[in-house]
Structure 1
């Protein structure tokens, strides 16, 4: 999406209040805020929600758990609303949308919502698709929002590849395994993928073929891919940390471990 984030809004233009009723347009629930912070380290320090419909247009919430540094949000939680540019382009010429923006943060102890609203109506168009507040809260400890599960029932999958030196196919796919309520497979290129061919072993994690994601759905994946040395030491390990999306349902390394190192122990 295009558009740049707004400069800091003067305090005099921000109205703060408390209310008992939740927002009617969209709600994002987070169970562990620290996990959300960690997950955004690999997505420009921001979390983008799925698109939701309001007023006949599609929108999404953009949250910077550690603040948007480019918008003077250091030390705060920054929150923005982004309009789907495709919603604007259905009209000829492209339309403009005027909207009032109000953010809600649920306080569990008081069982109320802390609200912040910019009193100025914001104009969304093809050149400016994002508006919001860089300084919503200085700290948050007990948000109940996005679910990131660290306690998986079966967190490990082992794939035994026999007679490695005799493998002739370009790639091999493991059996399907379940982790985190999703089906996954491992994909191995014993002689390397494309530019790594003949020099490296390539290794990837993929969602299983029929495990598709919606256009605005994503899964945060954190773990390790490891090729074990049969001699019991010097295992090849890479840490996997990324967002799995509909456009990128696989992740890994074309140059996972050199074939020279593999051949020494086979």
Structure 2
């Protein structure tokens, strides 16, 4: 069960019970009253030894009676401080964005009260300390009946400092709308005398080819012209890879107008590296209108948009 105890324009603080101990650092105090006495006439805080998390060194800082300078009077205040030396390893000095979770152990519940500001914090050379000034009301914390003080005068604090690893898995998708040579033309001479069921163009635009079925493919009868655009075998997309192609495929009218055209708007994938039309144009209409005086059929593909994707190292 989780509940919000404070929400404002700059932070949202959430409390929750958790059985799992802190993963980054635990601070157990065997004599809280003696610690309070030792800091009564100085800065009333305790700084832990350095611990490592996410490639950096940190300290847990606890104010059992609150940090009065940070509006924490009457509460337990808890902070994390990064060792500034670990920021200077890189040039320029780095920034770290950890997720912070603070813990106070409750013996009665046998669980940890977890308090978290859900926003990640930016640690850098100018801001080396982040935390919560009002973790738990001091009166609630100090009352032994509530379970935070146990076995005489003992208590336990802790923290998770979770530093996300740098991004290693990414992709950048772009759509190229200004191609250097967007058109490809293909002429099939003596079309009426073609005997084969399928004809394939040369590879064009680096890695695409066109396939033409003069008598229709297996999904159409012999009354249709079928046209498909394929990726060359050497450029078949890898698993989970894809390319987008947009643009018209035209059977050209020898009179220079009223071309028969269809629009490609398709993604080419490993399982489907080709797209097209089984019934692009009826052969009756083709013979009437689209063969030139030398019985040649002229085709044209124009690429308006082609996608490109850059990947990080794939799994």
- Using the size of structure 1 for normalisation, the TM-score is 0.50
- Whichever of the two has the greater Rg, that structure is 2
- Determine which structure has the larger strand proportion and give its number: 2
User: Normalising by structure 2, what TM-score?
Assistant: 0.42
